[in-house]
Structure 1
Amino acid sequence: MNFFTADTHFFHKDLLGDNDFAPRPFPDVETMNQRIIKNWNAKVKSTDTVYHLGDIALYFTHPAGLSNEAVFSVLKSLNGHLVLIKGNHDSRAFFKYLASHNFMVDGKPKFEFHDVGVLIKFNHRQYYMTHYPMMMGIVKQIINLHGHIHHYSVNIKEDINVGIDTPEKDYLNYKIPFGTPFSETDIEQMVQGKFEDFGKRG
């Protein structure tokens, strides 16, 4: 099964507490990290694929290798094969570190890497997965799954924010636990919900 997420921002201290961009009510980054890991693994199996649309972590140390090791340790603890699309906070050096420490899970590499985006098809639609929202113009059966803007929503019905802070999770018919990647069924609900929302605006 495929899942989708973005903007986990592991180790990002500045997001803790109340702020205007991505408020996260946790006392420390360790608690936040563990909450995401727990909720992720409660839904994702080792054989599943998770498309992570950028901004994995924000953690700087001297030397930089220490932060790479710490984030790698978190990613190793997450279930599934991770297809990583580079976000503005994901360095090439970190991706190279992950590539050099890649390992096999159920006969597939744990990590797959993409600089710009990925295109897949399900539910009779094409899904362009990018970190930044795309402005695609008038299109049919094409949806842009993206991250980057945290608790904001693009005012375009074909753009769906799949970041863990997204307000578009309110289109779901249940309360998704914080940090849980969205399933294909969740994405379908979000797409339909946003289409219906725009339809009501007349």
Structure 2
Amino acid sequence: MSNVFFISDHHFGHKPIIDFESRPFKDVDEMNEVMIEKWNAVVGKQDKVFHLGDFSFLNKEKTQAIVSRLNGYKILILGNHDRGRSRAWWLDAGFDEVSEYPIIYKDFFFLSHEPMYMNFHMPYVNVHGHIHSQKYEGVNYFNVSVEHWDYTPLTFEQIRDAVVPSEEQ
């Protein structure tokens, strides 16, 4: 049985993010390698991963090299730093699917790069990235930026169990 994972904001190849977010890496090469190792430590070949944007700052060849090393069927929801490149570019870089728009998953989880406005009438939980180490308050938001999760993708069950009271599962 395969698992479904969620993660965002790797910023592969982006040296300034180490200082911007106080990432615990001596340089960009170490950051890239550790993040690949942490991904593959939990994601198997048959698993599915939703990457919620801001994947890589590298050129296509170097991005392809990273994507090809990562386990799983990879779906990218474009983030603000990904949008300078076309869907076709990201597909050529190795993603199995690429969406320019948010995705509703299991009729309840609203997957997007940036946090989306959720009023109290909306039944969704917004699984998002973009704001890195910051956090939105409230039960309608779940930040999967790498800084919150030790650079490791989270399973669907980890997110569900954190946001849905156990009697509703």
* Shared fold (TM-score, shorter chain, > 0.5): yes
Partner of 2:13: 11
Q: In the aligned structure 2, how far is the partner of 1:117 from the partner of 1:80?
A: 20
- 1:188 paired with 2:160, answer yes
Q: Aligned-pair distance for 1:26? A: 0.7
Structure of greater Rg: 1
Amino acid at match of 2:97: E
Aligned to 2:64: 72
Aligned counterparts, 1:94-173, within 5 A:
95-100=87-92, 102=94, 110-121=95-106, 126-139=108-121, 141-166=123-148, 169=149
What is the deviation of 1:98?
A: 3.2
Question: Distance between the aligned counterparts of 2:38 and 2:115, measured in 1?
Answer: 25
Q: Contact (CA 8 Å) 2:77, 2:98: kept in 1 or not? A: yes
Kindly state the Cα deviation for residue 192 of structure 1 after the two structures are TM-superposed: 5.1
CA positional deviation for 1:141: 4.3
Taking structure 1 as the reference length, the TM-score comes to: 0.74
Greater mean deviation of Cα atoms: 134-143 or 69-78: 134-143
User: What letter is aligned with 1:145?
Assistant: V
Amino acid at match of 1:8: H
When residues 136 and 113 of structure 1 are mapped into structure 2, their CA distance, relative to the original with a 3 A threshold, is same
Identity value in percent: 33
Any stretches of 5+ residues in structure 2 without a counterpart?
none
| Number of residue pairs matched by the alignment | 163
Structure 2 residue matching 1:37: 3-state secondary structure: helix
Unpaired runs of 5+ residues, structure 1, are: 60-66, 103-109, 170-177, 194-202
| Displacement over 3 Å in runs of 4+ | none
Change (3 A) 1:100 1:71: closer
Q: 8 Å contact 1:7–1:56 — kept in the other structure? A: yes
Structure 1 residues 40 and 133, CA, compared in 2 at 3 Å: closer, same or farther? same
Q: List per-residue Cα deviations over 1:108-144 (Å, max 9, x = no partner).
A: xx510100111111xxx61010001011201364210
When normalised by structure 2's length, the TM-score is: 0.88
